[in-house]
């Protein structure tokens, strides 16, 4: 855990960098292992998405286990979109068998194939994971740590019962700080930062993420030089660290993970 020295009206014990990796869409973990190996020197934990953007990927729990076998800490994302109650209980059993203890529960993007199940919500998954600690099946197992996602809008009361929160990706440090000041909860909160890889990516994000504001000057800079997106994201990480407002950052390096790792190794 890296120490942060600046203040924002809150005590700062440390700052965690949680990097998201791309899970495989084929039955081959080579690329996932490469991302883990490259990012490990600058990363405190890895977040593994679950059928993100609505397409099938290798199980986030299986990839989380792979992170752990490589000596890292993992957080497995699990969406409510693809599961009924029985399927979710299977996932909890699988996670316990693999030693995966941390989850981020999300609603899930619109699927590209099939329909969304209506059997579970994020809140129901949180309740079920909490109840597992009282189930004899999970006796002698560590309790699961469960997190939820938060948009840059009022925070529902039930999400305050999570162990940690991931705030949606934003390209504005000021917007993230305003949201944090409006939500003085004590649990760890991680600000979302994503590398902007291209102008086309900016247009896609504007469609898929509500209320996101991507500065025109950043889009223009990335059009001139793709390295500008990496530089901007790393600068944002440092500004958020030095604000003292967050427990850490959830960084999405997309395809630029090599460049991100090299740059952050120089800066952190």
CA atoms of 130 and 55, how far apart (whole Å): 28
pLDDT number for residue 209: 78
CA atoms of 161 and 1, how far apart (whole Å): 24
Neighbours of 139 (CB within 10 A): 8
Instruction: Locate 225 and state its tokens.
Output: 């030089």
- pLDDT tier, 188 (very low <50, low <70, confident <90, very high otherwise): very high
pTM: 0.90
The mean pLDDT value for 104-110 works out to 81
CA atoms of 74 and 66, how far apart (whole Å): 9
**Contacts of residue 139, Cβ cutoff 8 Å, sequence gap at least 6:** none
**DSSP H helices in 10-134:** 30-39, 60-69, 85-98, 122-131
**Contacts of residue 83, Cβ cutoff 8 Å, sequence gap at least 6:** 91, 117, 119, 120, 125
Residue 153 has pLDDT above 60, yes or no: yes
Average pLDDT, the chain: 90
Q: Which residue bears the tokens 């679950």?
A: 50
- Provide the 8-state DSSP code for 52: G
CA atoms of 135 and 51, how far apart (whole Å): 28
- pLDDT tier, 195 (very low <50, low <70, confident <90, very high otherwise): very high
- pLDDT tier, 24 (very low <50, low <70, confident <90, very high otherwise): very high
**pLDDT tens per residue across span 25-55:** 999 999 999 999 999 999 999 999 998 777 8
């Amino acid at each position: 855990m890296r120490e942060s020295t600046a203040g924002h009206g809150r005590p700062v014990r440390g700052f965690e960098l949680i990097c998201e990796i791309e899970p495989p869409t084929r039955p081959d973990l080579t690329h996932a292992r490469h991302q883990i190996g490259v990012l490990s020197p600058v990363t405190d934990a890895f977040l593994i998405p679950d059928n993100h953007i609505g397409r099938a990927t290798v199980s986030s729990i299986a990839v989380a286990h792979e992170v752990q076998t490589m000596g890292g800490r993992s957080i497995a994302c699990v969406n409510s979109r693809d599961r009924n109650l029985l399927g979710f209980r299977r996932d909890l059993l699988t996670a316990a068998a693999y030693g995966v203890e941390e989850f981020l529960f999300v609603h899930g993007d619109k699927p590209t194939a099939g329909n969304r199940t209506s059997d579970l919500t994020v809140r129901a998954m949180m309740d079920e994971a909490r109840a597992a600690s009282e189930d004899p099946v999970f006796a002698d197992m560590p309790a699961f740590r469960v997190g939820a996602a938060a948009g840059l809008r009022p925070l529902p009361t039930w999400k305050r019962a999570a162990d940690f929160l991931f705030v949606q990706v934003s390209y504005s440090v000021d917007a993230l700080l305003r949201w944090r000041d409006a939500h003085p909860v004590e649990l760890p909160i991680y600000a979302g930062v994503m590398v902007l890889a291209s102008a086309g990516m900016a247009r896609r994000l504007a469609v898929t993420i509500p209320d996101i504001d991507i500065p025109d000057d950043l889009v223009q800079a990335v059009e001139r030089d793709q390295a500008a997106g990496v530089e901007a994201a790393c600068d944002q990480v440092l500004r958020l660290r030095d604000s003292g407002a967050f427990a850490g950052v959830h960084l999405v390096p997309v395809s630029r993970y090599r460049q991100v790792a090299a740059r952050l190794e120089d800066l952190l």
